[in-house]
Structure formats: structure tokens, C-alpha cells
Structure 1
């Protein structure tokens, strides 16, 4: 088993890694760090949650010099949330070496960023558009950059940032070292690598290492009008420590978070229309456990790395298998168990089958929970809390009070009353959500199945093309995410 001390890192970095609680490298770290320290260009095919930030962050911080007060390393990310999180982790890795990392992203006052840049950070983590803005203003100069990291390159491609990335790379000396990380490797990413990288080493993390087998996946077949009541029953039965509920649109997120609060749950939503200050506040409260349910769109949740999420609920089925994998990957982090539940309307069952085929994982069917099951779930949780208090808490000062009450009534009646008071009974406050049309999915014809009647596989290209045609939802112009 490899340890971080075997990588030959400086004492300052080893101290930071120990301080962060890292015990042994993840597969992507074990394969990436030695090659990156040697100065080789790398392509890492890995998803969020595999530890890739430290995989590129450790060699990046190790190679940066504290004596050079210029930008020596740059990380390009698709979203502001990911930029902030990567910068936070790099600052932790560089804390004892005194290496400073600054996040640069749209939505924040550019003059504030210019002021922060004057403090001479050695590493910049930024979104493509805002980086281009600073390059044009000459407030960021990249002539001394020796290492570039492109994080979640496929996502930047999907968001239309390829030209910006090319413009950024053209500003950096060709002698640089380039590390590219992407969950998938579409042709435009391969072309980008071929043009801007030098004989890159390719590191692939096997599917079994990135699908997080500790995630239990299930679905509930439910009509659109029943979804919210079913969600509340599941929350009552499972009582998650931290849960993320995914909605398809910004309006959906707003309505869901408001409706959950009406029912007595502590919930907040995040989507692209919130101010950065509000988003930061919501995420901080969620990480601290002040909020128990986070409602989010796919875009807003990109790059979120929050430990302790025990449950993910897909209130609306994702539009594509990649989004499904990304969503469920928010739970079951660091080897811990997680549960992902997807709500599927009868018309969307075929789309679920398509997701199962692409992800090569069977999603188990779960029956719609009843009100009685929800109440039973809350009663069970109350009993567990009582027993935990008996085992772990100091309760002797309450014994006299208990004895006085037992003189008034019998023990069973007394305990029954206590359980009723402590149990959160299912709340059926009426709420109204704007109905959203389910994904429009065509019936799958026999010839579009992965095998024909003789059991022979259909050529991959043909199947993928037909699958795309079959699975694409109708998109409205300017549709919010």
C-alpha cells in the first residue's frame, strides 16, 4: 500500500497532508502524483469524488516556489463553485509552505479581484470567461506559469468554453506542464489535448473505482402530482442527516424548497440566479448541518464536494446518464454508504432503462411508501433517540421528576405520551407545485435494443446514435437549468 511519504514530498507538504487527515492516496492520486512530479503532461479520466483535486494540487503546490512572487500555476474550472472549492483545498495543501491560491470567477466584483491579485498569489483558480477578462485587462499575466490544470474539461466543453481555453493556453509559455482531467473523452477534448499537450500520459480510473459501489440506487414509479407527498414520506421514513434533492429547473428548486419549509423541513435551494453571497451562505449552512435538505439544479451542484450527504433524491429524472451519475455521486463519498432515489413517472420508465443500460447498473424498484410507514419511521427514530440518550447522556437529575410522574400514572401511559410528544408526525399541509412535463421519450423499437434477436450486439456507433435520438428531451429555447 502506497503512502504519501513515498512520493518524496517536502516536509511542509507532508505536514499539510497529515493536517488535512489524508491517510493514503486514492487510485487517481497514486497514479498521478509521481508522474506530475516528474514534469510529465497528463490526461486523467476521473470524476468528482475520486480525489483528483489533491491529485493535481499536491504536485502543483510542491513545484511552485515561494520566492517567486508571480503566478506560477493556473487551474481552469467550469464553475465558480468548483473554483472556490479547488482554491480552498490548494490553500490547505499550501498552508505550511505559505503558497497562496486565489479564486477568480464571474459574479464577483472584478475590482475586488484586481486588489487581491496585487498581493501576488502564486496560483490562480479561475473560470474561463473571467480569466479572459483579466488577461485582456492585463491584470493577470501568465508568462511565468509553469503548470496548467484543466479540471472537468468535458464540462467546460459542454458549456461552450473551448475557445476561451484555447485563448488562455496561447498566453502561457509552451514549456509549461499541462494536466487535463475529464470524466469523459469526447473528440473535441482529444483534439485539445493533441494540440496543446506534449506526449501526455493517460491515466484511467476503472469504472469500479469511480461508480462508488456503496451507493444503493432505487426508483419509485409515481405520478407527477404525487411526487411531493412521496418525497416527504421518504424523508420521514429515512430521516437523512444531509440530503440533496435535484430539480430540473430553477423554478422547480424555488418551489420545492419553499414547500419543504411549509412542511416543517429545514431546506434551502441553490441555482444559477442566486447571488454569490447567497449561494455561499446556503452551502455553508448545509455543510454545518443547519440545513438538512439542499434543493439544487444540476448546474448549481457541479463541483460540489460536501462530505456527509447520506441521501440523494432525483425529484425529476435527469436528462442524460452523465447527469445521473454526477447527481448520485454526491452521496456515498469517501467509502461511506449512500442512498440515491429517483422519481420516475410512468412515461419516463423507458428513459430510466436507457440510463440503466449506459451506466450498466440495475436500479431497484421501490414501492410508494404509505402514510402509515412514514409515521412508523418517525416513531422508530424517536425510540432510537430515547435509547441513545439513556446510553450516552447524563439523566440522573431527571429521575426524581420521572418518579413523581409515575406516582400519577402508569409507566406505559407515561412513555407513550413522551413518544407522541417527541415523534414528528407526517405533516400534510397542502402545497402547490407547478407541474412540469415529463421527459418526452419515444418508445424504444426492437432494433434499437443493445442486442438483436440472435443475441448479437448491435454496432456501437449505430446504437449510440439511435440512443441519443431516443433519449433527447424536447428543449425549450432559453430553458433554465
Structure 2
């Protein structure tokens, strides 16, 4: 199966090829034709499965350049994810001149409003900024054909349910709706089936993302000695690029300060950091000018950075799904990945749950401190 077989036009296929994308991933293979033919789709897929292109490619195919109305809307829970989707869409624009607006907090609203006076086909937005535009009557969604909710589970987790309902009230009843989510819990299902008509369901198995190319290890330590243990591992591994996950913003701050004092090339990412600075940090990380990105789950949600070879779970995540999300950020495109989880005795129960779910007894790593 290739992208031409899925009905993607040659100009866009050439752009994909130039970017090293030649074969559709399972979620793309299963979703693209369903979306192209107008079906509502619920797709459950982890980070790193290629889900952004799974909805962008058919949306680009379906947009009519002679129709100057807003035809497609993609809503994402975080600014970082909105930026990332926009970057992917701008690459595809070289093959089809779709007019795109990115609307998210931290961007100058006056420049966005100026751009809105032109003809627009596709909007990529966070809920808050989109509602701001709707209330100002600067965005008209009355002719919308396709709505995408990306990372729907995270959208609900972050408290955007009422915002989504407000947005749904101003778009046509007859339209296509696509719901992409890493987990398919009862909240996501309730939301999806409330607004969708006979949706097709696409599911990509977790094992496709997590286990095939990723070596997993555990370091047993205590909270007091965890930073020393992490530094010992980082010195041994010296990865090309790595993400280090912490449970809270305070823990991110403390670890970043500690690693910086020890001479590590690192930067931190969480929601209290000014948006313009977050964008600069992500640009530097993507360019491999920063070796270690220290982040919370919410700040890193949806980030897809090529070149990340190692994931360090400084704090054990609160759920198996979060663990799967985190480690899915390495071992991309057939490359090998490595993940290391730091636990103290009180984390044993969560570790047992992770091992039971992924059907793997994660080997212990011995370190010298």
C-alpha cells in the first residue's frame, strides 16, 4: 500500500517523499479513505503513529480551492500541538495552496484578524482562542465541512468539555466529524457519539508503538538519590536527544536547575513558561541545539520530534496510558529507542500495573553512584 493507492495526489505524495515519508502507517492506511469519502471517524492511536497526517492528507484532498469558506477546522488541546499540526500543514501547502490560519494563545490577535479578512480554507486552533474569535464574530463556521478533535482525551482531561459544546453549537449539524484520541474511555465515547453519525472506528494496537523498537529498563532508587541516579545514567548514555518527564511543574523546575548546575545542556517546558519562550525552546530542541528537554506530560503532549533516541521517566507516570505516550516518543520510523524509568519503593504497584498491561517484565538497570 502507498499514498497514491489511498488517493493522495501526486504533488502531495512528492512532498511526503521529500520528507522521507513513503509508506502509510496503519492509522493512515485505515483512516484516509474513510475520511476522504466523508465518513465520521473515531481513531484511537498513540503518539508517534502518524495520526496528524492521517487527518491532514484527506482534508487537503477534500478542500475545494474555489470555495472561499472555512471548510475544515482542527482543534487541539495545547498550543504546542497546534503549532506542530500547522507546521505539517504548511509543508503540504507546497503541493496544494490551501489557505491556513493558526489561532492559538500567545499569537498577536490583530495579525490573526487581518489574515482572516482573506479567504480561508483551514483553521488550526486551541479552544480558548477559537471561542474568542467566534464571540468577536471574526470567524464564520457556518459552512464548515469537517471538524477534527485531536487528542480528544486530553481535551476533556484539561477541562475543555464546555468549550467544545460551545463550538459545536455554531457549526452546521450536517458536517463530518473526526475524533482522534490516544485512549477511548467512557468520556471520549460519550462526547464522540453525541455529535457523530454512525462513526467508523479505527484502532491501532499499542504494541505497534511501544515495544517493537524500544529497549525498556528500570532503575530502583529513592527520591532523595533520584537526581544523582539520573545524572549517572545520563553520563553513561550521553544520548543524541532525550526527553526527561517529571510529574509536576515544580519538579521540572527543580530538576532543570540541578542538571544545569551540573553542566548538562538542558531546557524545561511546562505551562507556566511564556508562550514565546516555549516556542523558542521547542525550535532549539528540534534543531538539536538542546540535548535534554525536561517536561511535564501536558506540556509535551503531542510533541513529535525526530531524533529523540532516549526517554527518561524521572517520575513514574500516573497511568499506564501516560507511560505508553511517553515512551512512544522514541523508536520512531524504524529507529531503535531506549527508555529508563526511575522508581522508589512506593512506585512498585504502578510498575506492576505497567508491566502487566504491556506484558513485559522490565529489566532492572544497575548504576554506580
Sort the TM-score into its range (normalised by shorter chain): over 0.9
Shift of 1:166: 2.1
Q: Which residue of 2 aligns with 1:479?
A: none
Q: Which residue of 2 aligns with 1:255?
A: 254
TM-score, scaled relative to structure 1: 0.74
Q: Does 1:360 align with 2:359?
A: yes
Distance 1:142 1:212 in 2: 42
Shift of 1:316: 1.3
Q: Which residue of 2 aligns with 1:129?
A: 128
Distance 1:251 1:172 in 2: 40
Match runs of 1:66-465 below 5 Å: 66-367=65-366, 369-370=367-368
Distance 2:196 2:176 in 1: 8
Shift of 1:179: 1.1
- Tell whether the 8 Å contact from 2:103 to 2:126 is kept in structure 1 after alignment: yes
Q: Does 1:29 align with 2:28?
A: yes
Cα deviations across residues 415-473 of structure 1 (Å, max 9, x unaligned)?
xxxxxxxxxxxxxxxxxxxxxxxxxxxxxxxxxxxxxxxxxxxxxxxxxxxxxxxxxxx
SS where residue 102 of structure 2 aligns?
strand
Distance 1:207 1:355 in 2: 13
Unaligned runs of 5+ in 2: none
Return closer, same or farther for 1:135/1:361 CA change in 2, 3 Å cut-off.
Answer: farther
Greater helix content: 1
Q: Which residue of 2 aligns with 1:387?
A: none
Shift of 1:117: 2.1
Q: Which residue of 2 aligns with 1:12?
A: 11
Distance 1:365 1:92 in 2: 42
Distance 1:8 1:262 in 2: 53
TM-score, scaled relative to structure 2: 0.96
- Tell whether the 8 Å contact from 1:91 to 1:100 is kept in structure 2 after alignment: no
Distance 1:243 1:194 in 2: 38
Distance 1:302 1:8 in 2: 30
Shift of 1:356: 2.0
- Tell whether the 8 Å contact from 1:212 to 1:335 is kept in structure 2 after alignment: no
Cα deviations across residues 158-203 of structure 1 (Å, max 9, x unaligned)?
1111221122122111221111111121222222222211111111
Cα deviations across residues 324-377 of structure 1 (Å, max 9, x unaligned)?
11111121122211111111112222221122223333222112x115xxxxxx
Return closer, same or farther for 1:207/1:253 CA change in 2, 3 Å cut-off.
Answer: closer
- Tell whether the 8 Å contact from 1:16 to 1:94 is kept in structure 2 after alignment: no
CA RMSD of aligned residues (A): 1.5
SS where residue 364 of structure 2 aligns?
strand
- Tell whether the 8 Å contact from 1:246 to 1:298 is kept in structure 2 after alignment: yes
Shift of 1:212: 4.2
> Which structure has the larger Rg?
1
SS where residue 330 of structure 1 aligns?
coil
SS where residue 364 of structure 1 aligns?
coil
- Tell whether the 8 Å contact from 1:102 to 1:123 is kept in structure 2 after alignment: yes
Distance 2:168 2:361 in 1: 42
Unaligned runs of 5+ in 1: 372-481
SS where residue 202 of structure 1 aligns?
strand
- Tell whether the 8 Å contact from 2:106 to 2:276 is kept in structure 1 after alignment: no
RCO (CA 8 Å, sep 6+): is it higher in 1 or 2?
2
SS where residue 294 of structure 1 aligns?
strand
